[in-house]
Amino acid sequence: RLPDHVVPIHYNIKLIPYIVKDNFTFDGESNINITIRRVTQNLHLHVLDLTINEAETLLFDNNGIIYTPAMYNYDNITQILVLHFNDKLSPGNYTLKMRYVGIIHKNTRGFFISSYINDKGD
């Protein structure tokens, strides 16, 4: 469970899938509007099998101030990524911008690929 002092308001997610035999991947870009309810230096996100582009992970406040995570910690068991910031983030509205690469799974985890046969056998 994620802490309740950071609340997502809106997600804008762009995924570009690459369907290559035995190598299903995607590029992703997310803009997440969040509200921070109390002072914090950490943001927690659910992440599954993503490689985060750290150079393009930025947090913007409503005044245009840009915050860059100083450290990233990922817990494989809980699948939670923690972004640590040197600055204290005051209560207010922010936008978290991230780019990443992920795996398109063959099972029903995360972003997955599937197939079916219709009534005509196709």
Q: Per DSSP, what are the bridge partners of residue 50?
A: 102
For a pLDDT cut of 90, what percent of the chain falls above it? Answer: 65
- Residue 77 is assigned to a structural domain of this protein: yes
21, 3 contact by CB (below 8 A) = no
Question: Which residues touch 9 (CB under 8 Å, ≥6 apart)?
Answer: 33, 34, 35, 93
Residue 36 lies in a domain: yes
- CATH assignment at residue 92: 2.60.40.1730
Q: What's the domain range around 17? A: 6-103
Tokens of 13: 């997610």
Is residue 112 one of the residues assigned to a domain?
A: no
In a domain, 1, yes or no: no
94-115 tens-digit pLDDT = 999 999 998 876 665 566 566 6
Query: Tell me, what's the pLDDT at 48?
Result: 83
- pTM to 2 decimal places: 0.84
Whether residue 47 is contained in a domain is answered as: yes
Compute CA 28 distance to the chain's CA centroid, rounded to the nearest angstrom.
9
Residue 93 counted as domain residue: yes
User: For residues 96 and 52, what is the distance between their CA atoms, to the nearest angstrom?
Assistant: 13
Does residue 22 register a pLDDT over 80? no
pLDDT tens by residue, 32-46: 999 999 999 999 999
Residue 45 falls inside a structural domain: yes
Flag whether 56 is in a domain. yes
Most confident of 17-26, 63-72, 102-111: 63-72
Q: What is the domain count for the chain? A: 1
pLDDT averaged over every residue in the chain:
89
